[in-house]
Amino acid sequence: MNKHIKVFSGSQIFVNRLSQLLNEIEVPYLVKDNKEAGRVAGFGTLGNSIDVFIYESDLEKAQDTIDSFKEEIAEEK
């Protein structure tokens, strides 16, 4: 059974961009939106509350893309 690992946590805009990049290299991913889950449950969350997970077995394939993405957003901050 494949294990999911968290590769990014951030805003919806950044998560959308990373999702697009992962789609381009055909790496399946899972988005966990803690902010929306908290809103629905009646309490809120702060900060980087949207997480992106990929299968551990896909990490090697996705690593360069993830690293490039993180460098890209670091330049914007």
Per-residue pLDDT at 66:
98
Which residues span the domain enclosing 48? 4-76
pLDDT of residue 34: 77
Which CATH number belongs to the domain containing residue 38 in this structure? Answer: 3.30.70
Q: Is residue 66 a contact partner of residue 7, using CB atoms and an 8 Å limit?
A: yes
Could you report the average pLDDT of every consecutive run of 10 residues in the chain (77 residues)? Answer: 92 95 98 70 65 97 98 85
Contacts of 49 (CB under 8 A, 6+ apart): 9, 33, 34, 35, 38
C-beta atoms surrounding 46 within 10 Å: 7
User: Under 8 Å CB-to-CB from 33, ≥6 apart: which residues?
Assistant: 12, 49, 50
What pLDDT score was predicted for residue 36? 60
Looking at the structure of the chain, the number of domains it has is 1
What are the phi and psi torsion angles at 45 (to 5°)?
Answer: -130, 165
Q: What's the confidence (pLDDT) of residue 76? A: 74
